[in-house]
């Protein structure tokens, strides 16, 4: 007898629950309860950064950009590594390799002006690059760029930069890279 009473109580509870859900559904309350707030209904917490570059990055950018302009090159800042390097489709552990570069960026990328082909990646290394975790990250990034065939130039942060020295470093790297631009297949040159 007691088992039947429990079963009846459960059935009655389920019936009440179904009726309640139906009432909420037909009145539109259920939809409002389950619905995420629309973007335009909520004040999002994002704020605009005052500057794109730190003072050290800005100082270096000015020198690098002046050199690039003289050589008919363009400088881009804070470029995601995933926008510079890619994984061929049939790579084992593809997701793992992709995840290792997705959230990383390079401080500067020097490209040719005609095809916007990356020629040199440039990292400005401040004191944070001496921390153990950062050293490990830098070793990975160095190897990724080397294996991908994109030169990576590491420059320590300084008070000022020698235009002559930096131009020499860029020229040394660019000599073989500019031959690559000239030899690029037409579909690469016009890629959109």
From the number of C-beta atoms within 10 Å of its C-beta (0-12, 13-18, 19+), residue 124 rates as buried
Containing domain of residue 12, as a range? 2-41
Q: How far is residue 152's CA from residue 113's CA, in Å, rounded to a whole number?
A: 19
DSSP 107-142: EEEEEETTT--EEEEEEEE-GGGGSHHHHHHHHHHH
Query: How many domains does the chain fold into?
Result: 2
Instruction: Determine the Cα–Cα distance for residues 184 and 2; give it in Å rounded to an integer.
Output: 84
Integer CA distances (angstroms), 108 to 19, 29, 142, 145, in order: 62, 52, 15, 14
Clarify whether residues 26 and 112 are in a common domain.
Answer: no
101 and 140 assigned to the same domain:
yes
Q: Is 125 in the same domain as 69?
A: yes
Smallest CA-to-CA distance from 118 within 84, 141, 149 is with: 84
Q: Is 1 helix (H, G, I), strand (E, B) or coil?
A: coil
Instruction: Say which residue the tokens 């579909």 belong to.
Output: 187
The verdict on residue 50 lying in a domain is no
CB contact at 8 A, 101 and 143? no
**165 and 73 within one domain:** yes
Q: Indicate the Cα dihedral angle 76, 148, 135, 78, nearest 10°.
A: 10
Q: Please report, in tens digits, the pLDDT of each residue of the chain (192 residues total).
A: 566 666 677 878 888 887 887 777 777 776 666 766 666 678 888 999 999 999 999 999 999 999 999 999 999 999 999 999 999 999 999 999 999 999 999 999 999 999 999 999 999 998 777 788 889 999 999 999 999 999 999 999 999 999 999 999 999 999 875 555 555 555 454 433
User: Is 0.85 surpassed by the pTM of this model?
Assistant: no
Is residue 35 located within the same domain as residue 63?
A: no
- Do 94 and 143 fall into the same domain? yes
| Residue 49 counted as domain residue | no
Per DSSP, helices labelled H in the chain are 2-27, 29-34, 55-70, 94-102, 132-148, 163-183, 186-189
Under 8 Å between Cβ of 67 and 163: yes
Does residue 21 form part of some domain?
A: yes
């Amino acid at each position: 007898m007691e088992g039947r009473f429990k079963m009846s109580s459960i059935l009655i509870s389920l019936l009440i629950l179904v009726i309640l859900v139906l009432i909420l559904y037909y009145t539109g309350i259920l939809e409002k309860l389950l619905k995420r707030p629309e973007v335009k209904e909520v004040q999002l917490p994002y704020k605009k950064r005052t500057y794109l570059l730190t003072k050290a990055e800005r100082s270096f950018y000015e020198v690098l950009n002046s050199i690039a302009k003289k050589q008919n090159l363009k400088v881009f800042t804070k470029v995601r590594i995933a926008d510079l390097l890619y994984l061929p489709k049939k790579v084992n552990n593809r997701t793992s390799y992709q995840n290792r570069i997705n959230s990383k960026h390079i401080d500067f990328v020097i490209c040719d002006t005609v095809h916007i082909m990356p020629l040199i990646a440039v990292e400005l290394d401040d004191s944070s690059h001496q921390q153990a975790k950062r050293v490990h990250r830098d070793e990975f990034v160095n190897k990724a760029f080397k294996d991908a065939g994109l030169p990576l130039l590491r420059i320590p942060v300084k008070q000022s930069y020698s235009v002559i020295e930096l131009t020499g470093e860029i020229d040394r790297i660019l000599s073989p890279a500019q031959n690559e631009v000239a030899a690029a297949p037409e579909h690469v040159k016009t890629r959109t």
